[in-house]
Chains A and B, each alone.
Chain A
Amino acid sequence: MSDTAKITTLDQVVIRFSGDSGDGMQLTGSLFSNLSAIYGNEISTFPDYPAEIRAPQGTLSGVSGYQVHVGSKKIHTPGDLADVLIAMNPAALKVNRNAIKPNAIVIADEDSFDQNNLNKAGFVTDNPFEELKLNGVQLIMAPITSMVKASLVDSDMDTKNILRSKNMFALGLLCWLFNTPIDRAMHLLENKFKKKPVILKANLKVLTDGYNYGNNTHGSVSTYHVNPTDMPKGTYTDVKGNQATAWGLIAAAEKSGLPLFLGSYPITPATEILQELAARKELGVKTFQAEDEIAGVCTAIGASFAGSLAATSTSGPGLALKSEAIGLAVMAELPLVIVDVQRGGPSTGLPTKTEQADLLQALYGRNGESPCVVVAASTPANCFDYAFIASKLALEHMTPAILLTDGFLANGSSAWRIPSLDNYPIIKPPFVHANMQPTWKPYMRNPENGVRYWAIPGTEGFAHRVGGLEKDNKTSAISTNPANHHLMVKLRQEKIDAIANVIPLLEVQGNKEADLLVVGWGGTFGHLYTAVEELNNTGEKVAFVHFNYISPLPANTIGLLKKYKKIVVCELNNGQFAGYLRSKVAGIDPIQYNKIEGQPFTVSELTDFFKTILYK
């Protein structure tokens, strides 16, 4: 019985929720990760879902997954292979065959393993486990569908809605398996379904039934416990990258004293930024759901001209459409934040999968010499910081700034200590002041950083015209003078280059004295950091540097990279950052580790690869 059952304490555990895209696996996974975080565990999550909203039920293409990594020490990734798999049907089992450990616990809905579903998932025998050679797994087969039906037989809900509660049974089972008190789960559900009392009641009942089922029938199976971590004191919430990005923009608006305007067009996986900001009207945010991507950026440029902190959010295909308008902001020297949540490309590509292949588009994807700031976030939580930083650089240096995140960061989540904005710097846009007249011209620059001054409509005595045509560097009148164009191109570049003076230097992590330097940028931080840490913990020597500032590069980039005998640049594309570094740091020829599968790195593939380099 449960009081005699063994409880095994784990340092960390990886749980993968998997089912039809209508099975509510994303919700179940995020509820479980929230519960673990509230309990004091470290969490990192990664949803992995199909592009189709509801692909045919029971088929391999309809499988939606959500992975949670729970730990009692600092964790940086959603984990490689799962220790526990919840498979709501045979297709989910098959799709995740290679995503679980050989001895993983598999919780499956026994009722869904019927002939029809086995056929749909392409099984040819009656025993899917043997067929997949999953002989080592610890199987918990529970008749989830029939128990949920029985549980809700007296409810007022129809069968369709009753079956939608299956995920809560799975959540209850997991709470039992990980000794998570279900009262907090109940509290979460109460908040979530506040306005839907019938569904709430059903979910609470099924959740409890799932928990009790585990307790009553599998008392002899070991359950698990993950100790809380020593996280810094404070108030925490669960944050996804897209939310953090939206909030970082709001923070920058507050710190600059400017209103926030977002012009955007819905696109996967960036849409939540628009949605989150559209909901923040109490904070005075204005959002404009435009007729297309071009109008998204153009309304933002208009809002910027009018004196707002203006942003546009998109993904790769949208960035392509916005490129001409970004060039206008480069030419007119207006502040503008462009958030590109990267996904697999080219063209429509893999809308729901992650990739880092928009780097060169962000750097060079415009006509003419068109430099702008490019920064990249590296964790779901620090999307907040880099959205803030991109805004600060855009506003203070009168330039477009592109923030690169990706599908992995955007939808992944981690526990986040709610920051105090007192700890964030004030943002000071270079507004004109009255004593600049009568000599002020729109392209007069601050000699220290090459930044022009900003006169917004409504400011008396500063009426002026800007635009996409080249302007005289002194009078600001239209100019086709050859020497003037040459000078203006140089001035625009120098303005961006000078930003290297105000951004932080790179810091090497891991073993600084190593011969091998691992280099990454953006959303791959967690996997790279963990891989390097693992190798150093096992006696290898590996150094690690991660780039968040891409254009301009930190001032110590050249000196730092030249110190190492071997450099490996790891990225989720075909080598764009490696090529960029070669063009910026003469004489280096880094090894490349590229993965272009629409999936994040795994720690084990990285450690394997680094070992081969170390012993080459």
Chain B
Amino acid sequence: MITMEPIQYKPQDFKSDQEVRWCPGCGDYAMLNSLQKAMAEIGVAPEKTVVVSGIGCSSRLPYYVNSYGMHTIHGRASAIASGIKVANPELTVWQITGDGDCLAIGGNHFIHAVRRNIDLNILLFNNEIYGLTKGQYSPTSRLGFVSKSSPYGTVEEPFRPAQLTFGARGTFFARTIDVDLKTSQDVLIQAARHKGCSVVEALVNCVIFNEGTHKSITEKEFRADKTIVLKHGEPMIFGKNNDKGLIIDGFNLRSVTIGENGITEKDIMVHDAKCSDPTLHFKLGNMKDDLPVALGVIRNIDETSYDQAVADQITDVQAKRPIRKLEEFLHTLETWEIQ
């Protein structure tokens, strides 16, 4: 008997022959590299991998990946990816999208893909700007943001992708930043392994139209103090000196320093990404300002995916009804004979 060793893929195997054409310095380059590394480690063959996107800078990504791919129309990638996955659950389906594509024109499809828990890996590039149309505010741009279409500042509050995902009953949400290759690769692998709809928000920099938008958390000198990489089953400790942690104070989260005011490591919360109640995940996903921005996998719970449920239902019905051909079925209807 010949036993086949599982093929060890290299990131190179997932690189297409197309020249990457983002602006020099764009955060999307780092995410593409992280994705190709993650794909190699996940080990699904290029021909069983499908990468789907909508419209926008990030949505050019499928052209750069050696796999089956579809660069579709604005906002509709979630729906098209849903059709691919439901039609053939054997495929690993990635959706590449941006804050405008996913949360403005595609918002409806996004929340329903999340609600249905279709086994998609949605990689949402959030640069808080419309880049391909050259600099208009997006649904994640902060209140008051000045752009070409908001010369006096926006007067609308932004979406937070984590809130939207949890509000739509999401089963997996992770966040990363373009410059943190290790976390990016790690959350993309976990997203792919999660059976159900996985949303990964990547905070990326738009070097041309929104330079430095995530700077307050991404700059090396304060990244460790301004972010926390959450890991399931591990205490929520962060900081340059690994001496800061998160505790629950009443209904709120609070950042504390270990060793101050009698706080010890035991007082620090342990991250439970698998808790089905999303309340704490909401709070973690919302952290900003005085609290570190949460990176890593915030929520990762097991629920039956839609594509699996569709396939299971067919199996169940077929077990009860032996008919497999249309003609046989038609003869089970109310019929009569003309002699």
Contact = CB atoms under 8 A, between A and B. Distances in A.
Interface string A279-319: 01111101010111011001111111111101000000000
Interface stretch (B63-71, B137-145, B175-183): B63-71
Nearest to A298: B79
Given A284-B314, A295-B112, A261 B83 contact: yes
B48 A458 contact: yes
B47 A461 contact: yes
B69 to A, nearest CB: 4
B334 A295 contact: no
Nearest to B67: A463
A288 B326 contact: no
A281 B317 contact: yes
Interface string A456-467: 011111111111
A259 B87 CA distance: 8
Contact of B80 (A234, A261, A298): A298
Contacts of B90: 458
A233 B336 CA distance: 11
B47 A288 contact: no
Contacts of A234: 337-338
Nearest to B14: A463
Contact of B310 (A286, A290, A332, A420): A286
B66 A295 contact: no
A254 interface: yes
Given A261-B86, A463-B68, A188 B334 contact: yes
A251 interface: yes
Contacts of B334: 34, 188, 191, 237-238
B66 A463 contact: yes
B323 A307 contact: no
A291 B48 contact: no
B32 to A, nearest CB: 14
A451 to B, nearest CB: 19
Contacts of A468: 55, 71-73
Contacts of A418: 327, 330-331, 335
A38 interface: yes
Interface in B119-163: none
Contacts of B335: 235-237, 418
Contacts of A457: 47-48, 50, 68, 84, 88, 91
Contacts of B50: 305-306, 457
A155 to B, nearest CB: 26
B109 A283 contact: no
B18 interface: yes
Contacts of B16: 465
A324 B74 CA distance: 10
A453 to B, nearest CB: 14
A261 B87 contact: yes
B219 to A, nearest CB: 35
A421 B47 contact: no
Contact of A324 (B67, B73, B82, B87): B73
B91 A421 contact: no
B81 interface: yes
Contacts of A303: 83-84, 86-87
A469 interface: yes
B23 to A, nearest CB: 17
Contacts of A461: 47
A417 B85 CA distance: 37
Nearest to A331: B73
Contacts of B314: 281, 284, 286
A260 to B, nearest CB: 10
Nearest to A234: B338
A454 interface: no
Contacts of B108: 291-292, 295
B266 interface: no
A477 interface: yes
B333 interface: yes
B62 A302 contact: no
B69 A306 contact: no
A40 interface: yes
A40 B70 CA distance: 53
A300 B67 CA distance: 21
Interface string B20-54: 00000000000000000000000001111010100
A612 B280 CA distance: 79
Given A38-B336, A235-B336, A247-B330, A464 B69 contact: yes
Contacts of B88: 306-308, 457-458
Interface string B319-335: 01111111101110111
Interface string A390-404: 000000000000000
B68 A288 contact: no
Contacts of A290: 79, 112
Contacts of B337: 234-236
Interface of B: 16, 18, 45-48, 50, 52, 55, 62-63, 66-73, 76, 79-88, 90-91, 108-109, 112, 310, 313-314, 317-318, 320-327, 329-331, 333-339
Interface of A: 34, 37-38, 40, 188, 191, 231-238, 247, 250-251, 254, 259, 261, 263, 280-284, 286, 288, 290-292, 294-295, 298-308, 310, 324-325, 327-328, 332, 417-421, 457-469, 477-478
22 contacts: A34-B334, A38-B336, A188-B334, A247-B330, A263-B83, A282-B322, A284-B324, A288-B82, A294-B79, A298-B79, A298-B109, A301-B80, A305-B80, A305-B83, A305-B84, A307-B87, A332-B70, A457-B47, A458-B48, A463-B46, A463-B67, A468-B72
Q: Which 8 A/B pairs are nearest by Cβ-Cβ distance? A: A302-B83, A467-B71, A299-B83, A298-B79, A303-B87, A465-B69, A295-B79, A281-B317
Given A294-B109, A457-B68, 4 more contacts: A250-B326, A305-B84, A421-B326, A465-B71
